Amino acid sequence: MHSRGSQVALAVVALVLGFLVVTQVRSQAGGTGLEDRSAQDLTLLVANLNTRNDQLRGEVADLGRQLDSIAAAQARGDTSAGQLRADLVRVRIWSGVDAAVGQGVRVVLRGPVTAVVLEDLVNELRNAGAEAIAVGGVRVVPATIAGGVPGSLSVEDTPLSDPVEVVAIGNGATMTGTLTRAGGLVAQEMATNQGLAIEVTPADRLQVPATARDLTPRVAKPRL
């Protein structure tokens, strides 16, 4: 009997303690309304939160990829801009707008130099890879023409004195070999023009001036 009464008392105490615990938990919930949700509602709410978290993580990953893409594009842009500047420098030198410095050959002609000899020499230098040429200190560009007769030659209305000096920038060994090879241009010109002497000398550093000619096209337009 005593044992049964003790069990009942313990049960009552446990019931009271359980009630107090539930009350405390509900009071700490602060009126969020979750305590009124069913287990099914709470499960759906958790699932929705997980879904939204996944979406946020996906957006963060997308923004990270966009940031990487922008950084890569910026890097490519810097590289492209540098490449464009380098290309512009080469084009300006090649066209004659800017002066040029580099290795090449110096060709000195003495005696009865004709305009045809000069034109043949310039063409041969170009074929041998010359990147910039000057005749008598005048930059050779498209439409540059040597005229006159031996003793009174001119290039771009600039008189040429004897000897005539032609400077070409490019691979010095290649141009020297092309001009001086057996049966090459120098041998042919000296054989067919009595009294003409041509001396070819490779040089490590030569300078060719910019052209004074206006190279602005009058008719042609850039194709974009």
pLDDT tens column, 151-191:
888 898 889 988 999 999 999 999 999 999 999 999 999 99
> Is the same domain home to 166 and 190?
yes
Predicted local distance difference test score (pLDDT) of residue 67 = 77
In a domain, 30, yes or no: no
Please identify, among 49, 79, 95, the residue that sits at the C-terminal boundary of a domain.
95
pLDDT at res. 41: 63
**Residues 127 and 115 grouped into a single domain:** yes
Say which CATH number the domain at 135 has.
Answer: 3.30.70.1880
Residue 180 lies in a domain: yes
Question: Are 71 and 131 found together in one domain?
Answer: no
Low-confidence winner among 26-30, 43-47, 89-93, 108-112 (lowest mean pLDDT): 26-30
Q: What is the pLDDT of residue 2?
A: 45
Question: Which pLDDT band holds residue 3 (cuts at 50, 70, 90)?
Answer: very low
pLDDT on residue 61? 78
Indicate whether 73 and 42 sit together in one domain: yes
Are 109 and 186 members of one domain? yes
> Same structural domain for residues 120 and 184?
yes
126-151: b or e for each residue (b if 16 or more CB lie within 10 Å)? eebebbbbbbbebbbbeebebeeeee
- 9 in any annotated domain: no
Q: Considering 51, 75, 95, which residue would you say is the last residue of a domain?
A: 95
Phi first, then psi: give them for residue 28, nearest 5 degrees: -75, -20
pLDDT digits (tens, 9 = 90+) for 94-141: 888 899 999 999 999 999 999 999 999 999 999 999 999 999 999 998
Q: In terms of residue numbers, what domain contains 143?
A: 99-208
Does residue 174 lie in a domain region? Answer: yes
31-49: average pLDDT: 65
> Which pLDDT score, from 0 to 100, does residue 199 have?
96
Number of domains in the chain: 2
| Same domain for 125 and 157 | yes
Answer whether residue 159 is part of any domain: yes
> Which percentage of the chain shows pLDDT scores above 70?
74
Look at 112 and 54; give whichever has higher pLDDT. Answer: 112
Q: Please indicate, yes or no, whether residues 146 and 189 belong to a single structural domain of this protein.
A: yes
Query: How many C-beta atoms lie closer than 10 Å to residue 14's C-beta?
Result: 10
Q: Is residue 80 very low, low, confident or very high in pLDDT (cuts 50, 70, 90)?
A: low
pLDDT score, position 133: 95
For residues 85 and 124, state if they share a domain: no
Q: Are residues 61 and 139 in the same domain?
A: no
Residues 65 and 153 in one domain: no
Give the residue-averaged pLDDT of 188-200: 94
Instruction: Please give the C-alpha separations between residue 53 and each of 24, 42, 56, 57, 61, in angstroms, as whole numbers.
Output: 31, 16, 5, 6, 12
pLDDT confidence of 200, banded at 50, 70, 90?
very high
Q: Do 105 and 88 fall into the same domain?
A: no
